[in-house]
Structure 1
Amino acid sequence: MVWAEKFKLNKQLIKTVTELGFGAPKDIQLKTLTRITGGQDVIGIGPEGAGKTTTLVLGTLNRFNYKADGVPRALVLAPDQERVFEIVAQLERINRNTSIRIVSLHNGSPIDQQMDDLADGADIVVATPDRARAIYLKLGLNLNKVTYLAIDDAHLIVKQGLQLPVVELATSIDKGQHIVFTEVMHDRLEKMIGSFMVNPATIEVDDLPEEKLATYPQMLYHVPNFGTKLNLLSLFMQDDEVFTKTVVFVNTKTTAETLYKSLTNRLRKSVALLAPAFFEYNQVKDVEAFTNNNALRVLIVAQESIEAGINVQGIPFILHFDIPAEKEDYIAHITDSGVADEETLALTFATDIELDQVRKIEQITGQKMQLAELPEDLVIEKTRAQKEADKPEKPKRVDPNKYVPGEAFHEKKPENAKTYNFSANKKAKMNKKKNH
C-alpha cells in the first residue's frame, strides 16, 4: 500500500496499481504526482525510463472518479502515432472505469473515421498535435469542457516542428491544468509552453546508473544553430598552440565538405578529409596517416563513410560537431583506452534539438557532460526566423494607373468650416429655437 500512503489517488486507481504489481514509486512520481493531483501546472524533466508516461496516465485517470459523460475532459498530446498507441495502451491497462471512453487521433487512420469516433463520445483524447488541430478546425473536436492538457515527450514535438498546433490547441482551452513531460528543457520548448502554462512547478530528476564507463573528460558546448557551431569550430582551430591535432566527427559527407571548405579558407593545407567523395580535397586514408603528418592539424570524418570502427587513440582533441545517430558510435569515440600518459579531451557541440541525444549518452556513460561557457568573442548567428524578423518591410507598390484621390483644390470658407460636433439633443433644441 505504498501508493496509498504517498498519493491521494482515487480508491480504484490504488487498487489497480496494487493488482498490477507496481513497485515503489519512482523519483519523478514522488516529486510530481502530488502536485498533479493537486491541480498545479507541472513540468517534469527526466530521462527515458524514469516513469514519466505512467505518471501522466495516473494523473489523467485520477480526474475521473465519476461516471464519464462522453464529452472530452482531458487532451493528451504525443509526438507521433507510436507514442499515441503506447499511451492509449497504458491508459487501458490501468483504467477500470468502464464508462470512460478513450479516443486516439493520429495520421494512421482516415480523418473522417476519427471524427465519427469523437461523435460517438470521448472522455480522454490522445492525439498528435497536427491531427488534433486539423479535426478541431473542422469542428470535430470539442474543447469547451477540456480542463486537463498533458504533453508527453515535448522535446520530440519541438524537434518535429509541431509547436504551432500545440499552442493553438492550448490557447483554445479556456481554463485548465497543463502537464508537460520532457527529457530536456531548452529555449524552443520554453517558448512553446510559456504562452499557456501558469506558474508551473519544474521538477527535474537524474536517473543515472551507478556504474560509470571509462571515458575521456567531456565538455558540452550548447549553441543555437549550425552557423554558430561553424563559428565556434573556426575559433577553436585558430589556436594552433592548443589544438595541435583534432579529429572532427560529423554525420554526413555533405557536412564534412562544408566544414572543409570553411576551415581551409584560414587553415589552408592543415585540414584533411578521411575518404572524401572527391579527389580534389586534401585527404588521408586513415587516422594513423593523419597522426604521422606534422603538417596536418584537423581531420574531418563523416560518420556515414566509416564502415568499421575508427581508432582515435592518442589524438589530443575528439570533437563531435554532430552527434551520431547511433549512440554506440559516439561511445566508441570517447572511451578511454587507459593508455599511460594519454591526455585526450572530448568536445561536443549541440543545439536545442540535440540535447535529448546528449541525455541518452549520459545515461549510457553514467556521467553528465560538463557544460562549458561559450567564448566571449564567438559570433552567434541569427536563426532564420530572426533574420526574417529583422528584414525591413518592403514599400507597397503603387499602381500608376490607379486613381488616388488628393486634397481639395480649395479651402472651405470660414463660415462653412465645421469646428464643432453637437449632440443630437443639442441639435434638436437649436432647430426648435430657429423655427420659432
Structure 2
Amino acid sequence: MPFKKLHSDLRESLERLEIEVPTSFQSKSIPVIKSGTNVFCNAPKGQGKTTTIVLTTLQKLKCEADGHAPRAVILVENKERALELYDLFLTYTKYNSLRVYVGYEQLHIDVQKSEIFEGIDILISTPKTMNKLFLLNGVSTSQIKILSIDDADFLIQKSDYNAIMSITQSIRKCQYVLYSENLHPKLKRFEDYFMERSKIVQA
C-alpha cells in the first residue's frame, strides 16, 4: 500500500484526516512518482490527483524546510485553483516546518518577489506569474527538485503553453509530473522538451 511507505508526518496527517485507503490511481501513481522519473498522470475527477500532488511533493522534500529557494513548484490554471491548493497544503504542513507560498497574477509582482526572497520551500503559482518572476529574477530555479502541473489541460491555451516552455528551459534538472484527465497530443509533445523518458500512469 503506497500510504504505508510515505513519511511518518504524512501518515499521521492522513490518519488525522481519516484517509485510510488510497484510490486505484494513487496506488499506481505514488510509487512511480516516488521513483523520481518524469510522469504523465491521467485520471478522471475524483481519483485523488490533487491529494497525490500534495503527498508526493511533501515526500520529496522529506517534510522539512531547507534553504531559501523553492524546492518544489506546482503550476495551476488560475488564482482560485492556486488558493484551493494552498489551503490543502496547509492541512498537511501544519505540524512541520515546510513553508508554502502562493502567487498569482492579481498579486503585485514586487510583493511576491520580496516575500519569496524571505525563504520558501513550495511555490504554487500560475505559469504566467512564475515566468514573470523568473524573468525579473524574483525566484531562483536552482534548487527545484520537482515541478508538478495540476489539471494540465489548460496548457493547451497558447499563452500558458509558451510560459511553461519558457519556465522549463530555465530549470537545470528536476522531476516533472503532469496531471490531467486525458493525455492531449499537445501535452504529449512535452516529451520532446522536458518530459524525457517519462512514464504514463492511467487510472
TM-score with structure 2 setting the length? 0.93
The corresponding residue for 2:33 is 36
Of 78, 84, 87 in structure 2, the residue corresponding to residue 86 of structure 1 is 84
Which one-letter code corresponds to 1:74 in the other structure?
A: A
Deviation at 1:199, TM superposition (A): 1.2
Deviation at 1:164, TM superposition (A): 1.1
The corresponding residue for 1:426 is none
CA change 1:2–1:179 in 2 (3 A) is closer
Of 110, 113, 117 in structure 1, the residue corresponding to residue 111 of structure 2 is 113
**Where do residues 226-237 of structure 1 align in structure 2 (5 Å cutoff)?**
none
The corresponding residue for 1:3 is 3
Which one-letter code corresponds to 2:167 in the other structure?
A: L
Distance in 2 separating the partners of 1:138 and 1:201:
33
The corresponding residue for 2:150 is 152
**Where do residues 25-424 of structure 1 align in structure 2 (5 Å cutoff)?**
25-65=22-62, 66-96=64-94, 98-159=96-157, 161-205=159-203
CA change 1:20–1:136 in 2 (3 A) is same
CA contact (8 A) 1:70 1:101 kept: no
Which one-letter code corresponds to 1:107 in the other structure?
A: E
Which protein has the bigger helix share?
Answer: 2
CA contact (8 A) 1:42 1:179 kept: yes
Deviation at 1:192, TM superposition (A): 3.5
Q: Structure 1 stretches of 5 or more lacking a match?
A: 206-436
CA contact (8 A) 2:2 2:26 kept: no
Q: Could you list the per-position Cα deviations for residues 42-92 of structure 1 after superposition, in whole angstroms to 9, with x for gaps in the alignment?
A: 111111221101101100011222442232111110111111111111111
CA change 1:93–1:60 in 2 (3 A) is same
Which one-letter code corresponds to 2:109 in the other structure?
A: I
CA change 1:193–1:151 in 2 (3 A) is farther
Q: 2:141 aligns to what SS in structure 1? A: coil
Which one-letter code corresponds to 1:3 in the other structure?
A: F
Q: Which has the larger radius of gyration?
A: 1
Distance in 1 separating the partners of 2:57 and 2:157:
25
Q: Could you list the per-position Cα deviations for residues 84-121 of structure 1 after superposition, in whole angstroms to 9, with x for gaps in the alignment?
A: 11111111111245421111110121111111111111
Deviation at 1:186, TM superposition (A): 1.7
Task: Say which structure, 1 or 2, has more relative contact order (CA 8 Å, 6+ apart).
Answer: 2
Q: Structure 2 stretches of 5 or more lacking a match?
A: none
Distance in 1 separating the partners of 2:112 and 2:171:
21
CA change 1:88–1:160 in 2 (3 A) is farther
Distance in 2 separating the partners of 1:71 and 1:26:
33
CA contact (8 A) 1:103 1:118 kept: yes
Distance in 1 separating the partners of 2:149 and 2:189:
15
**Where do residues 17-28 of structure 1 align in structure 2 (5 Å cutoff)?**
17-28=14-25
Q: 1:149 aligns to what SS in structure 2? A: strand
Which one-letter code corresponds to 1:139 in the other structure?
A: N
CA change 1:23–1:113 in 2 (3 A) is same
Q: 1:103 aligns to what SS in structure 2? A: strand
Distance in 1 separating the partners of 2:85 and 2:108:
20
Q: 2:197 aligns to what SS in structure 1? A: coil
Distance in 1 separating the partners of 2:158 and 2:169:
20
TM-score with structure 1 setting the length? 0.45
Which one-letter code corresponds to 1:71 in the other structure?
A: A
CA contact (8 A) 1:70 1:100 kept: no
Q: 1:162 aligns to what SS in structure 2? A: helix
Which one-letter code corresponds to 1:194 in the other structure?
A: D
Deviation at 1:193, TM superposition (A): 4.8
Percent identity of the aligned residues?
27
Which one-letter code corresponds to 2:9 in the other structure?
A: Q
How many correspondences in the alignment? 202
